[in-house]
A and B are shown apart, each in its own frame.
Chain A
Amino acid sequence: MTEHVTCLGCGCACDDIAVVVKRGRIAEASNACTLGAAWFGDGVVPAEIRVDGRAATLERAIGKAVELLTGAARPLVYIAGDVSCEVQREAVAIGDHLHAAVDTLAATAAGAVLAGQRRGRATATLGEIREHADLVVFWGVDPGERYPRFIARYATAPGDLGKTRTVVAVDVGASRGPKDAGLRVAIAPSDEVDAIGAMRATVAGRDASAARFASAVDLARRMMQARYTAIVADGESGPEAIDPDRAEALVALGQALNGPARCTLCTLRAGGNRSGADAVLTWQTGFPFAVDFAGGPPRYRPAGGGGSAEALLADHEIDAALVIGAPVTIPGPVGEALDRIPVAVIGPRASTSAVRPVVAIDTGVAGIHEGGTAFRMDDVPLPLRASLEGPRAALDVVRALRDKLVHGAR
């Protein structure tokens, strides 16, 4: 049995999983939620190396990937999920060397990150919510669905605080807060950003209360009287369309509430160590995603700037791509576009990728077959533990590719 295993099934990165292996398969992942159990599965992954769909040696596959990438006029390096920060660091180095565009899974929460770049943010690591918050506001999200253990691990107060804590569900159209919340506030999706604005005006002591915002304004007053409010919102997009100004409005509200009281804005992030991809790209280039090395030093053209993988692919700018990570984690639009160009994939289940890669090298899954470092949704770094023998390590393969690229270039 391997204890204290970190799960990358969602951004909670619960690190209390105990994995039991029997006959080369994961028999049990105790403490894991349904998402986590599905993420660990039985731990059996393919160990293929394929070039043009046919079995090949590692050397040939890497040679072919080098050929593909060095022959490209406009390569893309895409960092997908389920790889460690150590692998992500090598992936960015490869992008730098290739003068490639580099984007990552972290871009799925671009809205929240861009809002933070405009205003900063008042936030906290998740343990602070548990230890300090006497008012927790779930803004249009029930963590039970996509972050099953979030409430149990991070939002359930110990001791007396638990008795006095108020939990509020803000229901924005169909995006509803937790069912068992002590208080509910309903907001029409079309009113959401205006309602947040009315709340912030209230915090600033200005009256902007149209009748339809009365309940939101009451909530703002409650937040002003709390000691420590935690606003929990989902950084990932859901089925509902979200007003592009919502993220910035919430950031601004969270900051403003630190006048009359204390407040933290917690942005929920999905799994696969995407927060690690954000951190690594930021420390190596100064930018969190949508980075372009084509001109040499990194340039940043996010959002409408056309520098995201999604935009570059949609504009048919990219003529070859290297995907590092599990292809199954790639967001729909990016995956569909990748299917139309030659791609090399290095990562878990690469050989089963829907993008029909020219080169596919299966590796282990970070946190199941491979160790390393991953980041929780709140940027807390955690060690990964291997609980099961797997195929070749992603780090070895990516380093071999980088080495070949560098020396091939000499």
Chain B
Amino acid sequence: MSNPERLRISGGAVYDPANGIDGVVRDVCIDGDRIVAELPRDAPRLDAAGMIVMPGGVDIHSHVAGPSVNQARRLLPEEHAVDPVPAPRLEDGTLARTGTGGTVPSTFATGYRYAGLGYTTAMEAAVAPLGARHAHAELDDTPILDAGFFVLLGNDDYLLRQIGAGETARARDYAAWLLGVTRAYAIKIVNPGGVSLWKSGGDTGRRNVTGLDDAVGSSGVTPRKILETLCAAANQLALPHPVHVHCNNLGQPGNYATTLETMKALGGQRAHFTHLQFHSYGGERGKPWQSAAREVIEYVNAHPETSVDVGQVMFGPATTVTADSPVEYLLATSAGGGRKWVNVDIELESGCGIVPYMYKERAAVAALQWAVGLELFLLSTDPWRVVLSTDHPNGGAFLSYPELIRLLMDRSYRDECRKRVNQKLLAGSALLDGLSREYTLGEIAIVTRAGPARLLGLRNKGHLGPGADADVTIYSSDGDRAKMFATPRYVFKAGTLVVAEGQLRRAPAGRRLAVRPEYDTAVTKDLRRFFDAHATVSFDNYGAEPVP
């Protein structure tokens, strides 16, 4: 099918919540790579009568590119062997590429499959500064998606030193400098202080922090201080996306207390808390786990400055890949161990842990995690601040989003599934009280597009108003929402028709999303000294900028 410069998508039911449009039948006009208010009558038309029109999907948190993801790819040849991805036949002469899938697909397959789901923007959620150059190279090989990444801060020696010395202004300048030289989009904090402890060695006693006020190295440095410093920095730098926080104690029973404490510590300031599901457990070590979703989501509901993505667990194969390396050690050695396990300590900066994992319906903890995620969705009062993610590939692969959408939109289906899973730990889960809420198409459009775009500060994404990027996804209406969202009929990326009749037809390169905040360059003098004393990479070779 041809791809005219100007196109009127006519007759579809449009879901554009950012502009208050909820299923109204109206035209959407594309001129070049932008949405425009109107086009001449004689402009080419795409008849979308009876179809559903939404902005392209926006993934706020996904692991798709960079050193950790590639370590995971290298670890999973057996998954790739059974999920070959043939080269799609493209119309525009672009050299289509083959690849492999599984929970951690090759780069080209990642771009094709996201587009095949109607997603046109994704954020890689965790890149160590030392690996930034690698992450950009992979994103260059990830077609179609407009993409950026969050750079890891909060366990890095230089920052911890500044915090220890009370140099908050310098810490802010450092963060700004780092965002710029790594061409990153936002600040990611993973288990603040905990990874640093894990890396510094020693016996099992002091391998992680347990709460916000544990000392990290010098007494003046605590998770709380790290969070406060970076959160303030991000807001003072007026970054489009605030600090993106992976709290301490991920996956531990009783961790909801830490999660709430963290939210309160940053109370009143913009902050995003990621894969909340993994941080909303009650109970305590050695005792049965339980859901604490209600306690956590009620706080979120009441605090407009706070936003989250859910990190839903979906049953089936997953690969846990995170900078939270001490947690991966626990997972690798739990239940008798014997699992594949990768740990990479990243000098002066961060960590990386990887464990392939299977979420089984019959497993008590997996069933609890599944339920907790759904509770967070269903008890949320503001879809703009509680958006969809599976923390791909940690809670499940992004290919499972359509199934997740069905769980949110179809109560009877959800109840069927709930009856099938292990009930052991579900006591106290709101799911048992038969949460009757069913997400509307408008709400789905918020949690998969408009919401993430707004939280990321992407003004031209997640909506279909004049001036917006012409990223448009068109679905054939289908009562089976999983089927409908798994196979969009048409997908436009920046005005290019990438999917037609469900087939990938074009695979243009995506654009890079990055920030370059202002800062006092005096900090670079001090950084040079630090690099000369501690780094194994020259200061001038650091980061991801082209060198002369």
- Give the B-binding residues of A (Cβ under 8 A): 3-4, 6, 15-16, 85, 89, 93, 96-97, 113, 116-128, 130-132, 134, 153-154, 158, 226-228, 255, 258-262, 264, 278-280, 282-288, 293, 296-300, 371, 373, 375, 379-385, 402, 406, 410
Contact = CB atoms under 8 A, between A and B. Distances in A.
A284 B343 contact: no
B322 interface: no
A148 to B, nearest CB: 16
B70 interface: yes
A128 B199 contact: yes
B390 to A, nearest CB: 20
Contacts of A278: 74
A128 B340 contact: no
Given A154-B536, A259-B333, A297-B85, A283 B138 contact: yes
B547 A119 contact: no
B504 to A, nearest CB: 15
B75 A382 contact: no
Given A120-B341, A258-B329, A283-B107, A227 B201 contact: yes
7 contacts: A16-B538, A120-B355, A261-B201, A262-B199, A285-B80, A296-B87, A299-B81
Contact of A15 (B86, B87, B329, B538): B538
A181 B346 CA distance: 26
Interface string B195-222: 0001111111000000000000000000
Interface stretch (B112-120, B127-135, B362-370): B127-135
Given A132-B200, A283-B107, A373-B137, A119 B97 contact: no
B121 interface: no
Contacts of B534: 127, 131, 158
B105 interface: yes
A124 B130 contact: no
5 smallest CB-CB distances across A and B, nearest first, come from A127-B347, A228-B201, A297-B84, A286-B80, A286-B100
Contacts of B341: 119-120, 122, 255
B141 interface: yes
B106 interface: yes
B84 A3 contact: no
Contacts of A262: 198-199, 201-202
A382 B201 CA distance: 27
A116 B108 contact: no
A385 B548 CA distance: 7
A118 to B, nearest CB: 8
B77 A283 contact: no
Contacts of B98: 96, 285, 293, 296-298
B279 interface: no
B97 to A, nearest CB: 6
Contact of A125 (B102, B108, B200, B346): B346
Contacts of B74: 113, 116-117, 278, 282, 288
A41 to B, nearest CB: 22
Contacts of B141: 89, 283-284
Nearest to B81: A300
B107 A284 contact: yes
A228 B345 CA distance: 11
Contacts of A122: 341-343
Contacts of A97: 95
A15 B541 contact: yes
B95 to A, nearest CB: 5
Interface residues of B, number: 68
Contacts of B502: none
Contact of A300 (B80, B102, B131, B348): B80
B49 interface: no
Contacts of A126: 347, 536
A158 B347 CA distance: 14
A408 B80 CA distance: 31
Given A122-B341, A284-B99, A85 B537 contact: no
A124 B347 contact: yes
Contacts of A116: 74-75, 342
**Best-buried of B130, B138, B347 by chain A (most CB within 10 Å):** B347
B70 A123 contact: no
A127 B535 contact: yes
A381 to B, nearest CB: 4
Contacts of B134: 279, 373, 375, 379, 381
A261 B343 contact: no
B95 A286 contact: no
A305 B153 CA distance: 43
Interface in B521-548: 533-538, 540-541, 546-548
A382 B539 CA distance: 11
**Best-buried of A117, A261, A284 by chain B (most CB within 10 Å):** A284
**Best-buried of A93, A227, A373 by chain B (most CB within 10 Å):** A373
A15 to B, nearest CB: 5
Given A15-B537, A286-B99, 4 more contacts: A116-B74, A258-B343, A260-B203, A298-B80
B347 A125 contact: yes
Nearest to A402: B95
B93 interface: yes
A134 B202 CA distance: 10
A380 B135 CA distance: 11
B67 interface: yes
Nearest to B66: A283
A125 B538 contact: no
B73 interface: yes
B470 interface: no
A283 B345 contact: no
A286 B106 contact: yes
B105 A286 contact: yes
B84 A296 contact: yes
Given A4-B541, A282-B73, A283-B106, A383 B133 contact: yes
**Best-buried of B76, B344, B533, B548 by chain A (most CB within 10 Å):** B344
A261 B201 CA distance: 7
Nearest to A405: B95
B184 interface: no
A262 B325 CA distance: 12
A85 B138 CA distance: 11
Nearest to A224: B203
A221 to B, nearest CB: 14
Nearest to A386: B548
A380 B537 contact: yes
A375 B74 CA distance: 15
Given A286-B100, A380-B537, A132 B199 contact: yes
B21 to A, nearest CB: 39
Given A117-B77, A119-B340, A120-B75, A382 B541 contact: yes
B354 interface: yes
B536 A124 contact: no
B80 A227 contact: no
A124 B76 CA distance: 20
A127 B332 CA distance: 25
Contacts of B79: 286
B512 to A, nearest CB: 16
Contacts of B137: 85, 89, 280, 283, 373, 381
A243 to B, nearest CB: 22
B68 to A, nearest CB: 10
Nearest to B537: A15
A297 B75 contact: no
Contacts of A6: 541
Given A117-B77, A261-B203, A285-B99, A124 B346 contact: yes
**Best-buried of A226, A258, A299, A402 by chain B (most CB within 10 Å):** A258
Contacts of A15: 537-538, 541
Nearest to A86: B137
A286 B102 contact: yes
Contacts of A258: 329, 343
A371 B547 contact: yes
Contacts of B133: 373, 381-383
